[in-house]
């Protein structure tokens, strides 16, 4: 069976494909090493640049979605603020983004601004005192929602964060749905009478609290973060890849089951496509954060006075970047000088 | 000749000093009780502000109902319920803060102990 005509014809193709894959992998690893070297060499300049890009992107997205205050919906102001953010700590961006959201809401209606202010206040005072490193997630989740890839956040945070990151992602989901809800209800809110403050409050809070889709998304993302984290830590081969696949499948299942129970009418195709793209992005995260060679796994066993140790060591895949040197054998000046000496 | 072991140790120590070490040194400048007490106090203040902010939104949300029932309500028991809710929120948050900051203080002390051990080892390398 193994040496049948079809198999013999196929075998060189498989070999070529495998060789190509290995070559591609090697060039990818070289590229990764180049990127790492580049980042470590120019870290001083890249860090402010990254902050600038992040601040610029987030502020422009906020202005694009809820740009009700024309004074700050201005490219030059956004640029100045983003430049300011590039020299400040990373968490400053979230404060600026929150201020922008509150100001835009204030231009739409006072009640929206108050609710957004209270929400951010509670988030900053109660939760981010404990995990200031996770603050950025609140900014990234709404950005991912706008880019239609929100499912990447729980996968990525499960891989590089801790189960507590589920709370940060939950906060990000609430902020995202609040922005969407107020942007969608802007016409209704501006149409309401000024004196009817309590009605406006009730309208906004009811809209947020009765949003089943938001609740379902928070539950799904929390389950995914915890599941990805647990699977990632299991002592199995390709744990990170298994974790990504498990997380992606869990996301699809929980969202679809939740859709049936809560009748949220979410797009099934959107969920599947979004999760697939997110899993691929998570795979890129894995490539940069955790890349090991399971084929060279070593299992060693030793003991001391108190314990027996069963150690499993998985080596990291590393390649050295090719070092190119340009050696000049003849220079034009030398030639001309030689010619002059002959004369 | 460069002593590789010494360079590695120095790099590790200076990296710690520049990042986590700064916070750890600031934390261990306090006595354990002072540090935890101060952090719990800050947490209680944060919980108080958050509670009253949320309570304010709740009052606005139920403004019409409250205005209608204000003369029928037993204001004393209503106030008592709010006070109990506040105490539970602030107390619960204070306990969580206590546990978190106590473990953070212990971790900072442990990290600093390793750091000083490293410094001592470095000093002995120079003495040789």
For A298-338, the pLDDT digits (tens) are: 777 777 777 777 777 777 777 666 666 777 777 666 555 55
Query: Binning pLDDT at 50, 70 and 90, where does residue A2 land?
Result: very low
| Rounded CA separation A249/A155 (Å) | 11
The pLDDT value recorded for residue B45 is 94
B57 and chain A in contact, CB less than 8 A = yes
pLDDT at A6 over 60: no
Q: Among A152-156, A224-228, A302-306, A318-322, whose mean pLDDT is lowest?
A: A318-322
The pLDDT value recorded for residue B80 is 93
The pLDDT value recorded for residue A321 is 65
| Rounded CA separation B62/A236 (Å) | 54
Q: Are A157 and A289 in contact (CB under 8 A)?
A: no
**Cβ contacts of residue B96 below 8 Å, gap of 6+?**
B43
Domain membership flag for residue A1:
no
pLDDT one-digit tens code per residue, A182-196: 998 888 887 776 667
The pLDDT value recorded for residue A4 is 54
Range of the domain at A247: 109-291
Dihedral over alpha carbons A170, A173, A179, A182 (to 10 degrees): -80
Q: Where are the domains of chain B?
A: 31-102
**Cβ contacts of residue A178 below 8 Å, gap of 6+?**
A115, A116, A119, A208
CB contact under 8 A, B46 and A114: no
pLDDT one-digit tens code per residue, A269-279: 888 898 999 99
What value does the mean pLDDT of chain A take? 83
Which of A155, A138, A162, A176 minimizes the C-alpha distance to A224? A155
Tell me which of A84 and A36 has the higher pLDDT.
A84
Prediction pTM value: 0.78
CB contact under 8 A, A201 and B54: no
Residue of B42, B50, B61 lying closest to A121 (CB–CB): B50
Domain membership flag for residue A313:
no
Domain membership flag for residue A190:
yes
Q: Among A4-8, B16-20, B55-59, B103-107, whose mean pLDDT is lowest?
A: A4-8
Spell out which residues of chain A touch residue B38, defining contact as CB-CB under 8 Å: none
Spell out which residues of chain B touch residue A114, defining contact as CB-CB under 8 Å: 57, 60
Q: Which two tokens stand for residue A259?
A: 């859709």
Domain membership flag for residue A135:
yes
The pLDDT value recorded for residue A1 is 44
The pLDDT value recorded for residue A313 is 76
Predicted ipTM beyond 0.90: no
pLDDT at B51 over 90: yes
CB contact under 8 A, B54 and A118: yes
pLDDT at B3 over 90: no
| Rounded CA separation A221/A65 (Å) | 23
pLDDT at B11 over 50: yes
The pLDDT value recorded for residue B63 is 82
pLDDT at A152 over 80: yes
Spell out which residues of chain B touch residue A129, defining contact as CB-CB under 8 Å: 42-43, 46, 97
Give A158-201 as a DSSP string: HHHS-TTHHHHHHHHHHHHHHHHHHHHTHHHHHHS-TT-HHHHH
Give A196-251 as a DSSP string: -HHHHHHHHHHHHHT-HHHHHHHHHHHHHHHHHHHHHTSSSTTHHHHHHHHHHHHH
pLDDT at A21 over 70: no
What value does the mean pLDDT of chain B take? 88
Interface residue of B23, B61, B91 to substitute, partner A, most A CBs within 10 Å: B61
pLDDT one-digit tens code per residue, B89-128: 999 999 999 999 999 999 999 999 999 999 998 888 877 6
Mean pLDDT of B75-91: 92
Tell me which of A35 and B82 has the higher pLDDT.
B82
Which of A273, A227, A172, A120 minimizes the C-alpha distance to B53? A120
Interface residue of B11, B19, B46 to substitute, partner A, most A CBs within 10 Å: B46
SS3 of residue A305 by DSSP: coil
A110 and chain B in contact, CB less than 8 A = no
């Amino acid at each position: 069976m193994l040496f049948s005509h079809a198999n013999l014809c196929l075998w060189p193709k498989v070999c070529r494909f495998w060789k190509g894959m290995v070559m591609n992998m090697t060039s990818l690893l070289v590229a990764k090493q180049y990127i790492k070297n580049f980042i470590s060499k120019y870290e001083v300049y890249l860090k402010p640049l990254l902050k600038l890009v992040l601040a610029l992107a987030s502020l422009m997205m906020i202005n694009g979605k809820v740009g009700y205050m024309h004074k700050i919906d201005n490219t030059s102001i956004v640029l100045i603020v983003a430049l300011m953010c590039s020299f400040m700590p990373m968490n400053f961006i979230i404060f600026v983004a929150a201020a922008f959201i509150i100001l835009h809401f204030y231009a739409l209606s006072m009640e929206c601004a108050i609710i957004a202010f209270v929400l951010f206040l509670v988030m900053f005072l109660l939760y981010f005192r404990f995990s200031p490193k996770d603050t950025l997630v609140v900014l990234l989740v709404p950005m991912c929602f706008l880019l239609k890839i929100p499912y990447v956040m729980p996968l990525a945070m499960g891989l590089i964060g801790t189960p507590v990151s589920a709370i940060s992602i939950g906060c990000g989901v609430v902020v995202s749905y609040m922005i969407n809800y107020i942007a969608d209800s802007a016409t209704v809110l501006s149409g309401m009478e000024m004196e009817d403050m309590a009605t406006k409050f009730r309208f906004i809070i009811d809209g947020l609290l009765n949003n089943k889709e938001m609740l379902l998304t928070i539950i799904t993302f929390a389950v995914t973060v915890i599941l990805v984290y647990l699977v990632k830590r299991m002592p199995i081969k390709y744990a990170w890849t298994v974790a990504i696949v498990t997380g992606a499948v869990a996301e699809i299942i929980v969202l679809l089951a939740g859709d049936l129970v809560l009748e949220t009418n979410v797009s099934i195709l959107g969920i599947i496509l979004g999760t697939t793209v997110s899993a691929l992005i998570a795979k890129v995260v894995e490539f940069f954060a955790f890349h090991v060679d399971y084929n060279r796994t070593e299992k060693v066993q030793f003991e001391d006075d108190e314990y027996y140790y069963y150690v499993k060591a998985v080596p990291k895949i590393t390649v050295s970047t090719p070092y190119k040197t340009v050696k000049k054998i003849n220079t034009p000046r030398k030639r001309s000088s030689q010619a002059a000496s002959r004369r | 000749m460069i002593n590789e072991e010494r360079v590695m140790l120095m790099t590790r120590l200076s990296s710690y000093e520049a990042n986590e070490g700064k916070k750890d040194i600031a934390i261990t400048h306090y006595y354990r009780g002072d540090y935890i007490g101060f952090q719990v106090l800050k947490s209680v203040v944060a919980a108080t502000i958050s509670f009253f902010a949320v309570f304010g939104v709740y009052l606005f949300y139920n403004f019409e109902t409250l205005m209608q029932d204000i003369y029928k309500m037993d204001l004393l028991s209503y106030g008592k319920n709010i006070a109990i809710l506040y105490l539970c929120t602030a107390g619960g948050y204070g306990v969580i803060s206590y546990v978190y900051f106590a473990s953070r203080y212990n971790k900072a002390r442990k990290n600093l102990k390793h750091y000083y051990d490293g410094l001592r080892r470095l000093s002995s390398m120079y003495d040789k």
